[in-house]
Structure 1
Amino acid sequence: MVLTGTTFESSHPNGLSAGPGADVIKSIELFKVLPRWLFVRVETSEGNVGWGEATLEGHLEAVEGAFEDLRDRFTGWNVDNIEDIYTSAFRHRFYRGGPVLMSAISGLDIALWDIKGRKLGVPIWQLMGGRVRDKVKVYGWIGGDRPTDILEQAKKRKAEGFTTVKMNGSESLGWLASPEDLKATVERLKEVKSIGMDAGLDFHGRVHRPMAKQLARMLEPHQPLFIEEPLLPGQIEELKKLYAQTTIPIALGERLFTRQDFRPYFESGCIDICQPDISHSGGISETRKIALMAETYDIGFAPHCPLGPIAFAASLQLAACTINFVICEMSIAMHYNKGAYDLLTYMKNPEVFKVEGGHVATLEGPGLGIELDEKLIREVAIESKAFYWKNPVWRGEDGSVREW
């Protein structure tokens, strides 16, 4: 199915004075592409082009609606004033934050940074003080929602160059289940570690407090790299108590979107690793600030990124220049059920994402450092809602709704 993106053009007045002869935003295009991504293309009056990613899994329609406002407001604004555009987008509609608005802002912001880097002929990390590392540690995903054949998948990731993986800690358990249900999680971790790989365990908010403290204790002797979202976001006091009961590093943040969202977790001392997702947390501008804020609390920065090549490249740019960076998620190993569309499908230079020894080399090209196949993107872009990715609905054996 073919659909070119929707091009937005507007003659609304500028915000901050663009200045004579300024390069201004001319158009914004959105592309829904398989398997579940929303790409953003920004073109300027001088013909400069940048790409962003505004994917919000299962909620693309809402993000598209948010772009109606961004289009009307920012067409004609000086493309170089990224901070002014970000601040206006965040502050000037009274209601701030949240996954939909922040994902839309993210897509626009990443594209603006891509343009700036390309105009100056340097990677984005060069615009932020230069790099602090030559290569970026990454991990691949194994397992899926109902983990099976974990060992074989881990072996495959190892053959692809990964030294670290992440997998779901369990199926959705509800508030209280049999302790026997937790043993399979421990066995899967032991299998992965038996071939010399590190592993993070993603609880995904599926394990509620009575089970989370049991599972953390059972996992501790086997030393997972971290446990992610052991409790649902918002349960800060409960997380503090769990934190005091385990020595396993606790990671969290894919469902937090601003410094204000992260602040109580930092101040409460209940996490060790923050995981903002650059396609949800305000793009490069806000995610960079979250990472710097985390450093003051001695908290690591590990970008969450089960998304497309634009989001991954943007995450790598921040990883290169952020001192408290730990590790980045890389979705090339994920299985998609919509055909052979993966992290490399839309790239002309996929070699820049090659994994060796558990690392990807720091990107050296201008802007995001990747070259996209725009012709293919336009061919694949789709409109039909039948192709929208939807979150699965989970229910327990009694029929009650469970956390995804």
Structure 2
Amino acid sequence: MRITRLDVHHLSPRYSVLVVHTDDDSVFGLGEACLEGKARVVQAAITDFEPLLLGQDPRQVEKLWNDMYRTTFYPSGSVLASAISAIDQALWDITGKHHGVPVHELLGGRVRDRVRAYRHVNVGDHGDAEVARDQDHIDELVAVARVAVSQGYTMIKTALPGPARGLESAAFVDFQARRFAALREAVGPGVDIAIDFHGRVGPALAKVLIRAIEPWSPMFVEEPCLPENVDAMVDVARSTTVPIATGERLFTRWGFRDVLSKGAAAVLQPDLAHCGGISEGRKIATMAEMHYAQLAPHNPLGAVNLAASIQLDLVTPNFLCQEQIHLGEGVITHPFEVVDGYIEAPTAPGLGVELDPAVLASDWDGSWTLPSWRDPVDGSLLPW
């Protein structure tokens, strides 16, 4: 079997799928070809890898991964790692289809029969730096949380609403504490609540906020500060008993090494569309297991990345939970279902999903831009 063509299809509002074709017309592979707001750049990087891939056996996944990673000379950052991730997912999909088994069987077989998924609970971001501290926001948030629980979810995740400065006022801290307390009261102690700071505040304020919400037992705090400075995150982690999570903006096993060795996080969140694909996700998961850290793959993307993530979740002993915002309507023919907070193990070959014809028919060019915020007082850019 040989690789003959690589095509990327963009599907509005912001999903991009790579199709790797082979000389066996009945066998092709799917991968999530995305970097939020930069899908066309990833597409160009995939095209740039074609000389290394065309004519090669797609089942030589590890060889081709190393060829792509090592022949660039420079370590892969967000763009190249995302291109490699999409290709890697597609190669595993092809290999599973060739052998007639799900990818998780190729990875050694599953250690669980279903995957715990969680639902995002937010009601829109406020557009000003002060953040509206009104009861209406909290009431709306609580209503969304109760719907999630009624749907069977046993875990939810919220985020700091709207932009924030590196340091904030006492009123800001009080609002975040009241907001989280209301969530806990609404869902009770039997539902896990995680919160994503999204790198929106500095380490000093992160410690203050974590202390403020700690009485209501957050499952973990995600990206309490931007991830570039591992030592700063170590300082945050050592200041609290609340588990710290990070990883969506880290790439390859080398990007996670210091986070683990320095004890910066108890939960790792590699994104299989960015970190290097299924191959690299497996290695990161094993590194995490060695450091007694849990795996909670990041995925605010499409159903192909969710499918790839589920295959890894099924074989990972230290798996914790799976992020999802889109179960595949309009992208795959049989969207995933969350029942009582879990997704059952797929049994179809490869990634276990088939592409909806709408993806191939789409003429969207992939031009999607990430949102950004500016401080209304001085006009400075605030982290999204």
TM range (shorter): over 0.9
CA contact (8 A) 1:226 1:249 kept: yes
Shift of residue 223 of structure 1? Answer: 0.5
1:59 aligns to 2:51 (yes or no): no
- Whole-Å separation in 1 of the counterparts to 2:123 and 2:262: 32
Query: What does residue 35 of structure 1 align with?
Result: 13
Query: What does residue 282 of structure 1 align with?
Result: 276
Which residue, out of 202, 206, 223, partners 1:208?
202
Q: Quick check: 159-168 or 360-369, which moved more?
A: 159-168
Mapping 1:119-198, distance limit 5 Å:
119-143=98-122, 146=125, 148=137, 149-193=140-184, 194-196=186-188, 197-198=191-192
SS in 1 for 2:187: coil
Shift of residue 156 of structure 1? Answer: 2.4
CA deviation digits over 1:160-209, x for unaligned, max 9?
A: 33221111124322122102112222222222222233211000000112
Normalising by structure 1, report the TM-score.
0.88
1:343 aligns to 2:328 (yes or no): yes
Give the fraction of aligned pairs with identical amino acids, expressed as a percent.
38
Query: What does residue 339 of structure 2 align with?
Result: 356
SS in 2 for 1:316: helix
CA contact (8 A) 2:181 2:213 kept: no
Query: What does residue 312 of structure 1 align with?
Result: 306
Which residue, out of 365, 369, 380, partners 1:400?
380
SS in 2 for 1:331: coil
Amino acid in structure 2 at the alignment position of 1:143: N
Amino acid in structure 2 at the alignment position of 1:111: A
**Distance of aligned partners of 1:363 and 1:344 in 2 relative to their CA distance in 1, 3 Å threshold:** same
Unaligned runs of at least 5 residues, structure 2: 127-136
Any runs of at least 4 consecutive aligned residues in structure 1 with deviations exceeding 3 A, and if so which?
none
CA contact (8 A) 1:170 1:206 kept: no
- Whole-Å separation in 2 of the counterparts to 1:61 and 1:355: 31
1:380 aligns to 2:362 (yes or no): yes
CA contact (8 A) 2:252 2:275 kept: yes
Amino acid in structure 2 at the alignment position of 1:36: R
1:117 aligns to 2:108 (yes or no): no
CA contact (8 A) 2:52 2:67 kept: no
Query: What does residue 323 of structure 1 align with?
Result: 317
CA deviation digits over 1:317-356, x for unaligned, max 9?
A: 0000010100010113xxxxxxxxx732222112xx2112
CA deviation digits over 1:21-47, x for unaligned, max 9?
A: xx0101111001112111000111122
- Whole-Å separation in 1 of the counterparts to 2:226 and 2:187: 31
Amino acid in structure 2 at the alignment position of 1:99: S
Shift of residue 313 of structure 1? Answer: 0.6
Query: What does residue 98 of structure 1 align with?
Result: 77
CA deviation digits over 1:124-157, x for unaligned, max 9?
A: 0000110000111111112155164211221222
Normalising by structure 2, report the TM-score.
0.92
Amino acid in structure 2 at the alignment position of 1:368: L
CA contact (8 A) 1:134 1:362 kept: yes
Unaligned runs of at least 5 residues, structure 1: 1-22, 333-341
- Whole-Å separation in 1 of the counterparts to 2:342 and 2:62: 31
Query: What does residue 9 of structure 1 align with?
Result: none
1:26 aligns to 2:40 (yes or no): no
Equivalent pairs counted in the alignment come to 367
